[in-house]
Structure 1
Amino acid sequence: MKGYVFHGPGQSAWEDVPDPAIKEPTDAVVRVDAVTICGTDLHILKGDVPEVRPGTVLGHEAVGEIMEAGSDVRTVRPGDRVLVSCITSCGRCRFCREGMYGQCRGGGGWILGHLIDGTQAEYVRVPHADLSVHALPGAVESRDAVLLADIFPTSYEVGVLNGRVRPGDTVAVVGAGPIGLAAVATAQLFSPERIVAVDLAASRLEAARRLGADAVADAGEDPEQLIADLTDGLGADVVIEAVGVPESFELCTRMVRPGGHVANIGVHGRPATLHLEDLWIKNVTITTGLVDTRSTPTLLRMTAAGRLPTAELVTHTFPLEHMEEAYDVFSRAADTGALKVVLGAPSHDDLAVPAA
């Protein structure tokens, strides 16, 4: 089969790789029908995630069909259409029993496209399949469902829930890429007074407005002052960091009000300065986290009911074998306008791919 293989920083290729096979009785093998690319994959290609060994097939999000299931798999069977979660859960260790699947110590957590071969291939082996894939209702299209493998549960759990968004809050989302846009969408479930999106790209700020942001701010034009003006100088109740660079994290800590929450989602490859000399007196809560995907069943039900704007984040579609082109388009989002790219799923809208 073919897969997209990481060969070291700046080196990757769509090439022949061995077919996956059942290794443990809890495994399943899934034929990949739809897959997407994550910002974390770009971090891997830059060398920011040294745990990823050269020769690893990338990807941790997919929709597909169960082709083979191990003898201990009970919840799905061959022929079932499923969502492959970005997080694998053994269901038995201390952290899984507490719903912290991202911290699984039983051979799970974020392993696909990280510690083992991932989903950007024609087939993928999924360990602990009973808790790591989700049967899909027929009403949910593959190109919508694949966004529930990572970005929507990540934004909802690590951003909105960790940030404790409440009715009447002012919520600032720093970074209007796919994760930030999903945070804008899911923060609205808690009826904040206003949501402010901050980014450098005008196209992404416009997307944030379409998804429900009440105000937008260019990151280069003093967003701190806008937040101060909107809150009588207090600062935002919740600030969600969705970029993953020191400058954006430090901006978030300056925008939050005393007693507020900074919820960090971004994947950081460099140290950021924590200005405790300013923050210690402000009762600020800072949270970090890897998604647990415990919210995925809820988000699936909401998608089936038409309550989540998943389709609005998909800007480009490609055949699966055009993986290298899709990476190029996604990595040049400022030029191409890419938000989420989906490979392999049939499109009802025949979205065009702009010239490189």
Structure 2
Amino acid sequence: MKALVFHGPGEATWQDAPDPALREPTDAIVRVEAVTICGTDLHILKGDVPDVRPGTVLGHEAVGEVVEVGSAVQGVRPGDRVLVSCISACGRCRYCREGAYGQCLEGGGWILGHTVDGTQAEYVRVPFADMSLHALPASVDAADAVLLADIFPTAYEVGVLGGGVRPGDTVAVVGAGPIGLAAIATAQLYSPARIVAVDVDASRLEAAKRLGADAIAVAGEAEPLVADLTGGLGVDVAMEAVGVAASFEQCTRMVRPGGTVANIGVHGGPAALHLEDLWSRNVTIRTGLVDTSSTPVLLRMLIDGRLPTSSLVTHTFELGAMEDAYDVFGRGAETGALKVVLGGPTHDTVTLRDPPEPT
């Protein structure tokens, strides 16, 4: 088969790779229909995730068709169309029993494209298939469904639920990339009074407005705007959706006493925690790896047309154009790429999906 193989920081190649095979009775083999690229994949290429060894197939999000299952798999069978979750869960350990699948103790958690071969390939082995695959009806577009493999549950669980968004809150989302936009979309399920989107890129801020942000600000103007909107108090919830020190520290400056900072971003370096300013302000700081326990709920909402997934997909590629897709996604400030989706025959093409009209 063909797959995107990581060779070390700055280097990944679409090349021949061994076909995956069942290793455990709980495994399934999935033929990939569609995949996407995550900001975490870019962090891997930068060398921010040293656990990923050269020779690993990248990717942790996919839609596809089951072609083979192990003897212990009961929930799916060959021919089923499925969503491949970014998190694998044994279903038996202490954390899985608590629904904290991202912390699985029995070889699960975030493993695809991390510690085992991932989804950016023609075929993928999915461990713990009964817990890690979700049946998809044929009516659901693959480009929509694949966004539920990671960014929507991550934004919802780590940002919205972790931040404790409540009706009437003022919420700031720092970083209007795909994960931040998904946070803006899902925060609205809890009726906040206003959402403030912060980014350095004007096109991403416009996308944030289309998805429901009530106010937008470039990074350097965000703090005065928040102070003005809240009478100097600060936001109830500040979500960090970039993964750099400056954005995390900005969140801690914008949050009100008694508020919550929800860190969604993947950090490749340290950030300063200014306890000299925060110690007396009753601020809660939440970090987290997504568990994907919310995926069934989000999937029902997608089927019912309640999630704006298609609004985030700006570019589509054939699966064989993986290296081109990484280039376009990695230069999002120049290309306008928010989320790219790959799938179909192996020949190089690119399609720019029309952005939604403002409402």
TM range (shorter): over 0.9
Q: Is structure 2 residue 71 aligned with structure 1 residue 67? A: no
Q: Is structure 2 residue 301 aligned with structure 1 residue 308? A: no
> Aligned residue pairs: how many?
350
- Tell me the alpha carbon deviations over residues 231-277 of structure 1, each in whole angstroms, 9 at most, x when there is no partner: 01100000000000000000000000000000000000110000000
Distance 1:326 1:11 in 2: 14
Report the 3-state secondary structure (helix = DSSP H, G, I; strand = E; otherwise coil) of the residue aligned with 2:163. Answer: coil
Instruction: Return the offset for 1:11.
Output: 1.0
Alignment correspondent of 2:172? 172
Alignment correspondent of 1:339? 338
User: Could you state the TM-score of these two structures normalised by the residue count of structure 2?
Assistant: 0.96
- Tell me the alpha carbon deviations over residues 193-242 of structure 1, each in whole angstroms, 9 at most, x when there is no partner: 0000000000000000000000000113x211100100011000000000
Question: Does the CA-based 8 Å contact 2:195-2:215 persist in structure 1?
Answer: yes
Distance 1:223 1:124 in 2: 43
Q: Is structure 2 residue 66 aligned with structure 1 residue 82? A: no
Distance 1:218 1:128 in 2: 43
Distance 2:179 2:344 in 1: 21
Tell me which amino acid in the other structure corresponds to 1:227: V
Q: Is structure 2 residue 264 aligned with structure 1 residue 236? A: no
Instruction: Return the offset for 1:32.
Output: 0.3
Instruction: Return the offset for 1:137.
Output: 2.0
Alignment correspondent of 1:215? 215
Question: Does the CA-based 8 Å contact 1:32-1:121 persist in structure 2?
Answer: yes
Distance 1:194 1:342 in 2: 31
User: Could you state the TM-score of these two structures normalised by the residue count of structure 1?
Assistant: 0.97
Alignment correspondent of 2:357? none
Instruction: Return the offset for 1:353.
Output: 8.2
Instruction: Return the offset for 1:310.
Output: 0.1
Tell me which amino acid in the other structure corresponds to 1:132: S
- Tell me the alpha carbon deviations over residues 165-210 of structure 1, each in whole angstroms, 9 at most, x when there is no partner: 0000000000000000000000000000000000000000000000
Tell me which amino acid in the other structure corresponds to 1:162: G
- Tell me the alpha carbon deviations over residues 261-309 of structure 1, each in whole angstroms, 9 at most, x when there is no partner: 0000000011000000000100000000000000000000000000000
Distance 2:352 2:293 in 1: 34
Distance 1:174 1:12 in 2: 29
Q: Is structure 2 residue 291 aligned with structure 1 residue 255? A: no
Alignment correspondent of 1:281? 280
Question: Does the CA-based 8 Å contact 2:170-2:192 persist in structure 1?
Answer: yes
Tell me which amino acid in the other structure corresponds to 1:141: D
Alignment correspondent of 1:111? 111
- Mean CA deviation greater in 134-143 or 152-161: 134-143
Question: Does the CA-based 8 Å contact 2:88-2:102 persist in structure 1?
Answer: yes
Unaligned runs of 5+ in 1: none
- Tell me the alpha carbon deviations over residues 14-54 of structure 1, each in whole angstroms, 9 at most, x when there is no partner: 00000001111100000000000000000000000000000
Q: Is structure 2 residue 265 aligned with structure 1 residue 266? A: yes
Distance 2:99 2:328 in 1: 36
Distance 1:97 1:164 in 2: 22
Distance 1:185 1:308 in 2: 8
Question: Does the CA-based 8 Å contact 1:151-1:179 persist in structure 2?
Answer: yes
Instruction: Return the offset for 1:140.
Output: 1.4
Q: Is structure 2 residue 153 aligned with structure 1 residue 158? A: no
Question: Does the CA-based 8 Å contact 1:173-1:195 persist in structure 2?
Answer: yes
Question: Does the CA-based 8 Å contact 1:175-1:241 persist in structure 2?
Answer: yes
Tell me which amino acid in the other structure corresponds to 1:321: G
Question: Does the CA-based 8 Å contact 1:27-1:69 persist in structure 2?
Answer: yes
Question: Does the CA-based 8 Å contact 1:143-1:345 persist in structure 2?
Answer: no
Question: Does the CA-based 8 Å contact 1:61-1:119 persist in structure 2?
Answer: yes
Tell me which amino acid in the other structure corresponds to 1:261: T
Q: Is structure 2 residue 91 aligned with structure 1 residue 91? A: yes
Question: Does the CA-based 8 Å contact 2:217-2:225 persist in structure 1?
Answer: yes
Unaligned runs of 5+ in 2: 355-359
Distance 2:70 2:281 in 1: 53
Alignment correspondent of 1:226? 225
Tell me which amino acid in the other structure corresponds to 1:204: R
Tell me which amino acid in the other structure corresponds to 2:153: P
Distance 2:84 2:25 in 1: 18
Distance 2:30 2:334 in 1: 34
Distance 1:353 1:142 in 2: 14
Question: Does the CA-based 8 Å contact 2:66-2:77 persist in structure 1?
Answer: yes
- Tell me the alpha carbon deviations over residues 54-86 of structure 1, each in whole angstroms, 9 at most, x when there is no partner: 000000000000000111000000000000000
Tell me which amino acid in the other structure corresponds to 2:143: R
Tell me which amino acid in the other structure corresponds to 1:219: A
Distance 2:20 2:344 in 1: 21
